[in-house]
Amino acid sequence: MSVSEKKAVTAPVESASKGLPAKEAAPGVTAVQETGNVVTIEEVRRDPEVVAFIQQANASLFALGFTEHGQRHAGLVGHIAANVLERLDYPERTHQLAEIAGYLHDIGNCIHRQAHAQSSSLMAWRILSRLGMPPDECALIMNAIGNHEEERGTATTPVSAALIIADKADVHRSRVQNPTMAEFDIHDRVNYATTRSFVRVRPEEKVVALELEIDTNYAQVIEYFEIFLDRMTMVRQAITFLGCEFQLIINDTRFS
Ligand SMILES: [Fe+2]
Ligand SMILES: [Fe+2]
């Protein structure tokens, strides 16, 4: 990619806004250093360290009884995060950084579940700087990954907000790894009961809606709130940061 193309995909945030509140021009969104590479999601996905770290992270969490955190989760979160920012008309490079952040956000689970946001962030830094990503872009991705867990994370950039929304939206039957239904814990049951999960961005109304279909043969709607209340609070903060209203719609009933 030429230098001129690099500049073309890193236009200032303000220039892309269409009627939405002016977004903070977060450091790094407006300028890719000409000495740096435009690192792509394809490069990240095929990087041998990324492949190995995601594989080990999911294997470790599977052994501990957690839901799926492998390539499916990584890819889906990246895709949703990018899509949210695209629908809200952020610059193309901002979508791309959100997709990369989404793909790498859980790699630290291969070290330990505890503080995995911080370990994932530092691991991503090493990988992305090795691939030639400019420091300002690395900083945005490190910040987003380091803030994606509800215990201590807050959205302070569009990339971090999109990552939070995408990660917390991934509740779905396909994430359940426990093969024995009789041994399901509440997280398995709620995930298994969720047959559809969709983030719908309605830019003209400034609304980001999380739409879920929960099969109440497996879990009650109240159980979703029981285990995910902190997550929903975090998602609301992230959506508010993007200048939008959060709506939670479960089985065609609006809860917020
Ligand atoms: Fe995580
Ligand atoms: Fe995650």
What CATH number is associated with residue 159?
A: 1.10.3210.10
Portion of the chain with pLDDT greater than 70, in percent: 86
Could you list the beta-strand ranges (E) of the chain: 194-202, 207-214, 245-250, 253-254
The verdict on residue 10 lying in a domain is no
| Contact assessment for residue 120 and residue 109, using Cβ atoms and an 8 Å cutoff | yes
Residue 27 lies in a domain: no
> 73: CA distance to ligand 1 center in Å?
10
Tell me what pLDDT residue 256 has. 84
What is the whole-number distance in angstroms between the Cα of residue 140 and the centre of ligand 1? 17
What is the b/e burial string over 218-228, where b = at least 16 CB atoms within 10 angstroms of the residue's CB? Answer: bbebebbeebb
Query: 106 C-alpha to center of ligand 2: Å?
Result: 5
Location of structure tokens 């008309």: 89
CA of 202 to the centre of ligand 1 (A): 26
Helix, coil or strand: residue 93 = helix
Q: What is the pLDDT of residue 150?
A: 85
> Within its chain, how far is the Cα of 202 from the centroid?
18
**Do 97 and 137 meet the contact criterion of CB atoms below 8 Å apart?**
yes
pLDDT at position 21: 39
**Is pLDDT at 6 greater than 90 in this prediction?**
no
Choice between 7 and 67, residue whose per-residue pLDDT is larger: 67
Does 29 fall in a domain?
no
- Output the CA 118–ligand 1 centroid distance in Å: 10
| Residue range(s) defining the domain that contains residue 112 | 37-254
Task: With cut-offs at 50, 70 and 90, classify the pLDDT of residue 179.
Answer: confident
Q: Which two tokens stand for residue 127?
A: 């990988």
Is a pLDDT exceeding 60 seen at residue 232?
A: yes
pLDDT band for 34, please (50, 70, 90 cuts): low
Asked whether residue 8 is domain-assigned, the answer is no
Domain count, the chain: 1
69 CA distance to ligand 2 centroid (A)? 6
88 neighbors 201 (Cβ within 8 angstroms): yes
Residue 2, in any domain of the structure:
no
Please state whether beta strands 245-250 and 207-214 pair in parallel, antiparallel, or not at all (unpaired): parallel
Question: What is the pTM assigned to this prediction?
Answer: 0.86
Task: Assess if residue 225 is contained within a domain.
Answer: yes
Q: What is the DSSP letter of 205?
A: G
Q: How many residues does the chain have?
A: 256
